[in-house]
Homo-oligomer: A and B are copies of this chain.
Amino acid sequence: MALSKPLEDLMRLFERFPGIGEKSARRMVLFLLQQPKGFSEALAEGIRKCSSSLHPCSICGNITDDDPCSICSDPFRDKSTLCIVESVEDLITLEQAGIYNGLYFVLGMLYSPLEGEEVSPQVLERLVKRVSQGDIKEVILAFSPKVEGELTMNLITSVLDPLPVTVSRLSYGLPVGGSVSFADRTTLHAALEARTCLKRGEGRQ
């Protein structure tokens, strides 16, 4: 069948999103056509606005329309704790659980030798610089409990070894094999409370 071209084109674009297959894309487009016109206008405008006004925070990597972001510039956040997350999605998941009041550092990737993914030296350098500056006393690693997460934790722990900071990780109250993004608030809270210390902050020298 020749679907009408605008319909077909828009379905193909929706299908590019993660987790959206052909049938979901079709359902979304047909839903869109049944809404009042204001909805599609707001959606188109919202997409344009996000893509033009949002960018990574120069300090933590969070998505923001200001720089630094509202977390980095919040005077009431605990500036002695830095939580390292894989992605902005994980940062938002932790934030929305409302269980953490420190600062963040978005790594942007995990060390994944099987897929040939390294954590670039530049990122590690930025991390060391970030941890050395300011008053950071504890670094909390909040990666998803899977092989890549473990490898990345080992890497970061050794990179931070010379610095006088405590390094901990979320406890494995997290469902192993799952991901930070899909954990519920209670699980996240328990995991934060029972975080396991990897290195005491006595420094070296």
Chain A residues close to B by CB (< 8 Å): 1-7, 9-10, 13, 16-20, 23-24, 26-33, 35, 37, 39-51, 53-54, 63-66, 69-71, 87-89, 92, 95-96, 98, 181-182
Known: A3-B92, A47-B44. A63 touches B30 (CB 8 A): yes
Contacts of A7 in B (CB 8 A): 50, 54, 63, 65
Taking a contact as CB atoms under 8 Å apart, the answer to whether B18 and A27 are in contact is yes
Contacts of A39 in B (CB 8 A): 13, 16
Min Cβ gap A127→B in Å is 21
Known: A23-B181, A23-B182, A181-B23. A29 touches B4 (CB 8 A): no
Taking a contact as CB atoms under 8 Å apart, the answer to whether A89 and B40 are in contact is no
Min Cβ gap A5→B in Å is 7
Known: A13-B43, A23-B182, A31-B17. A92 touches B50 (CB 8 A): no
Taking a contact as CB atoms under 8 Å apart, the answer to whether A50 and B19 are in contact is no
Query: Which residue in chain B gives the minimum CB-CB distance to A20?
Result: B28
Taking a contact as CB atoms under 8 Å apart, the answer to whether A4 and B54 are in contact is yes
Taking a contact as CB atoms under 8 Å apart, the answer to whether A10 and B47 are in contact is yes
CA of A37 to CA of B24 in the docked complex: distance in angstroms? 24
Taking a contact as CB atoms under 8 Å apart, the answer to whether A88 and B30 are in contact is yes
Contacts of A23 in B (CB 8 A): 181-182
Taking a contact as CB atoms under 8 Å apart, the answer to whether B33 and A40 are in contact is no
Taking a contact as CB atoms under 8 Å apart, the answer to whether B50 and A40 are in contact is yes
CA of A37 to CA of B42 in the docked complex: distance in angstroms? 18
Contacts of A10 in B (CB 8 A): 43, 46-47, 49-50
